[in-house]
Structure 1
Amino acid sequence: MTTSMLKDSLESLQHFRQRLYEHLGARRDASLNLLDSLCANTQARSVVELSLNPAFERDYTSLYAAIEAFTPEPTARDPSPSTGLSALVSEQIPAPSPARPFWLLGVDTTPNPRPFAATLADRGVVYQPNPAPGNKPIAVGHHYSVVAALPERSRCHPPWVVPLQARRVASNTTATAVAASQMAAVLADPAQPYATALSVQVADSHYSHAAYLHALSAFSNHVVIARSAGNRVYSRAPPATDGACGHPIWYGEAFRLADPETWGSPCQSAEWPDQTASGRAIRLTLERWDDLLMRGHRDSPMQDHPFDVVRCRVFDAQTGRALFKRPLWLIVMGQRRAELSLQQIEQAYRQRFDLEHFFRFGKHPLLLDRFQTPDLTHEEHWWPLVCLAYVQLWLAAPLASDLPRPWERFLPKPLADTRLSPARVQRDFARLIRQIGTPARATKRRGISPGRVTGTPGQRRARLPIVFKRQPRLTATA
């Protein structure tokens, strides 16, 4: 990396930190210290241990005060502190290149297990892998929906994302409803570039249903690429019925993904060689059928929102054998979907899995699910704070030096023109902070708090029930 590029990266990081400091509002000094200690964390296994990090210049009580004072979204009572935080993060993302002339966004949901927090409100059943045979992969806790921008990268680059929003999925709603409101807020924000330019969103099959797709159909510059289950049934455009009486025909012949007899000839097909991350030569084959329809509901009619279906298959380049038993089906919906080629669709959806790397890294070195608090509001503040810490690591990646462990000296060295991985940037972040400094003011001792009056009894927190969405079956009475 050239000297001018390093200088630009340093100025971008300093400018972002100054703007972030101004947006943090109350307890901004402690909040920025908390973000720096998260980014430089290499030993803490719990949130309170971050107060022992040299980047946190205050007592551990200030750590909890910073989490309590942080407001991830503007409220009627305090509309100013974090207004424009997602817009501030979006300003740091490079503009699309001619090779990928659109903004790429991703959305997904991840669990936050809290099985032993009996006093925590609104806990439900969440997914959690369980290695014990015969046990169900479930736990008790919360779900969080995350919307992130996916910067352009090659396959050899580390899988970075730029988190924009993180919001808890309440028990009285669904993950798709929360994701739809998050995406609508991002796309409708005039301070962000996604409303006026072409933007593409990638998601798994959970987001390929009518309720979610209909909510985003109002944005003319937005295209959704979502995976579809292999047993879905769609419809072709209805035949023309000029002058016919009665209700108009909305759907034509059935297009069954599991029945090749109903497909017909694809409108577009492409094939190109590729290779896996391990270097295995493969061949990709994609086919596209245009202007299909899905049946909606009364609240989400879909007869006026056509989409394309793409079938993806992977073959071994030498033997020609299919590497997967079933093909990958993708839905491409949006008014500007025709501007995307088959190769761009496949590459965009492949980058969706970068979100999984973010969840894994966030839940271990960044302590994303380690905040053991009985206060639901504090937990909801913690997740956006961790996302901001991850954005700081992403901006500091061009400036960080690789510091391998003694047992890692034989691993492949990162390329000179690529960013380091999040874990490697975190190892060197403490040095960067010492060099560039911090906008946070030095701590001022206020004396020792008197605390609770001696003899005052503490109140026991109420034990709250677990929320089960499925209602119990009614039993017949004699």
Structure 2
Amino acid sequence: MSTISCEDQLAQFQQFRQNVYANFPLNRDSVMDLLDAITGNITAQTPVELCEHPSFRRGYSALYKAIRQFFVPSSPNTAVAERKQLQKSLLKTLSPLIKAPTKRNFHLFGLDTTPIPRPFSPTLPDRTYIHQPNTIKGNKPINIGHQYSLLSFLPESEGTQNIPWSIPLSTQRVRSNTNSIAVGVEQIDTTLHHCPAFEQEQLSVLVADSYYSQRQFLDALSKESNLVLITRVRSNRVFYRQPSSSETANSGRGHRLWYGERFDLKDETTWHQPDETVQTNFTTRRGRCLQLNISAWHQMLMRGTKEYPMHQHPFTLLQVRVTDEFGQQLWHPMWLIVLGTRRNELTIMDCYLSYRQRFDMEHTLRFNKQRLLMNSFQTPDVEHEENWVQLTQLAYIQLWAARELVSALPRPKRKILSQKNSSFYNT
């Protein structure tokens, strides 16, 4: 926990709210009341019910007016550029709350996409087919609606093991004329170069799922000298070793040899001895003792194209296996690639634990949709939907900003109980 005094924590939180307030162009008081109502919501199932929240001190019509005027572009032609400028301004507002890492030597980010289904909104512009898991066997995991790309900051643990925070730094809708990879690259570039907390030589690590293991994404971000990428890859991929000196010498005339022997993830006979291995034991919540086995192959290559010269970007390949007390493998192995010029500054365990923390984003998205009503706002205007999604992300950030004040400023009854408990333990 932080050693900052209660007064300093309260002053920091008040300053954060003032900075957020200054980013609203119109009807700032109404927008701030709506933001507080979303933050403190525990009973509302739809956005309209928020007008009954004690924090929202206005009428029914003011709620929708606040959503509309959260962001109002000067003209339709400049709407995209002005929304990006608002995102940069909000990053600067959030920056003072982000502390430098102490337990690890890097900042950790997570990138993912989340669907906002709109199957019954035929007049809503720019709807596309989106991926949405379906629990009914045989049904395809698709729907119609919008998709949002979410870049989150994954902070270090503050002493509690069951509170997975992931702070949304940038939430951007994936338009039908682009894709999640292009949007994700833009979000990362904006965050690393326009958020003062990350504009340093401090190493940054980005974790993402297998969708982002494509050449387009890896090649674009390999230009960031202080960024290391950790992505999962499917078990049917084929990689290559670095060509040996003898292979290069025997290549004869013509093009220089770029790739060595094949490394087929589904064919164990093509694997060579790992360059590094790590084994450790861990205990599950149910008390079961399992063993974690990680194997690493350095200087691996991915076949590229003329547009994406992947032979210029070697990476480390990791295989993660979990076995029980009898040595039996429990699940299919997980494969990870670690790419970046500074990847050697991370240990194998750092890479595994970083990717494991990516699942904290799932908890955040579930909380945002169930409690903060992220996907509950029905509107025929796509700009208003983007405003609402941004408001819910700000509400989550405000909860994170106030996390330490919960214990520093307890309610009167809890304050008396905490004083009794402290006097009991002191005796």
The two structures share one fold, judged by TM-score above 0.5: yes
What one-letter code is carried by the residue in structure 1 that aligns with 2:53?
N
2:348 aligned with 1:361: no
Cα distance per residue 1:41-95 (max 9 Å; x no partner): 1121111221111111222322222222223998666897664202322331221
Identity %: 44
SS at match of 1:163: strand
The question of whether the paired residues in 2 share the 8 Å contact of 1:23 and 1:82 is answered with: no
Within-5 A mapping of 1:353-392: 353-392=359-398
State which of 323, 326, 329 in structure 2 corresponds to 1:322.
329
In structure 2, relative to structure 1, the CA distance for the partners of 1:302 and 1:129 (3 Å cut) is: closer
Please name the residue that 1:46 is paired with: 46
2:294 aligned with 1:286: yes
The question of whether the paired residues in 1 share the 8 Å contact of 2:88 and 2:194 is answered with: no
Please name the residue that 2:402 is paired with: 396
State which of 303, 306, 312 in structure 2 corresponds to 1:298.
306
Please name the residue that 1:236 is paired with: 241
Please name the residue that 1:276 is paired with: 284
Please name the residue that 1:225 is paired with: 230
Considering only aligned residues, what root-mean-square deviation do their CA atoms show, in Å? Answer: 2.4
2:157 aligned with 1:149: no
The question of whether the paired residues in 2 share the 8 Å contact of 1:24 and 1:81 is answered with: no
2:110 aligned with 1:110: no
The question of whether the paired residues in 2 share the 8 Å contact of 1:72 and 1:384 is answered with: no
The question of whether the paired residues in 2 share the 8 Å contact of 1:187 and 1:219 is answered with: no
Please name the residue that 2:256 is paired with: 248
Within-5 A mapping of 1:17-56: 17-56=17-56
The question of whether the paired residues in 2 share the 8 Å contact of 1:230 and 1:329 is answered with: yes
Q: Structure 1 unaligned segments of length 5 or more: list them.
A: 403-415, 417-478
The question of whether the paired residues in 1 share the 8 Å contact of 2:91 and 2:194 is answered with: no
**Most deviating of 390-399 and 81-90:** 81-90
What one-letter code is carried by the residue in structure 2 that aligns with 1:96?
P
Identify which of structures 1 and 2 has the higher relative contact order when contacts are C-alpha pairs closer than 8 Å and 6+ apart. Answer: 1
Distance in 1, matches of 2:267 and 2:139, equals 35
The question of whether the paired residues in 2 share the 8 Å contact of 1:25 and 1:81 is answered with: no
2:211 aligned with 1:206: yes
Shift of 1:143: 0.8
SS at match of 2:256: coil
The question of whether the paired residues in 2 share the 8 Å contact of 1:283 and 1:314 is answered with: yes
Shift of 1:189: 2.2
State which of 210, 221, 236 in structure 2 corresponds to 1:216.
221
The question of whether the paired residues in 2 share the 8 Å contact of 1:25 and 1:80 is answered with: no
The question of whether the paired residues in 2 share the 8 Å contact of 1:214 and 1:301 is answered with: yes
In structure 2, relative to structure 1, the CA distance for the partners of 1:72 and 1:239 (3 Å cut) is: farther
- What TM-score results when the alignment is normalised by the length of structure 2? 0.87
Distance in 2, matches of 1:340 and 1:59, equals 54
- What TM-score results when the alignment is normalised by the length of structure 1? 0.78
In structure 2, relative to structure 1, the CA distance for the partners of 1:106 and 1:82 (3 Å cut) is: closer
The question of whether the paired residues in 1 share the 8 Å contact of 2:230 and 2:351 is answered with: yes
Distance in 1, matches of 2:407 and 2:288, equals 31
Distance in 1, matches of 2:169 and 2:71, equals 15
Number of matched pairs: 400
The question of whether the paired residues in 2 share the 8 Å contact of 1:110 and 1:145 is answered with: yes
The question of whether the paired residues in 1 share the 8 Å contact of 2:264 and 2:271 is answered with: yes
In structure 2, relative to structure 1, the CA distance for the partners of 1:78 and 1:400 (3 Å cut) is: closer
Shift of 1:23: 1.9
Structure having the higher helix fraction is 2
What one-letter code is carried by the residue in structure 2 that aligns with 1:172?
N
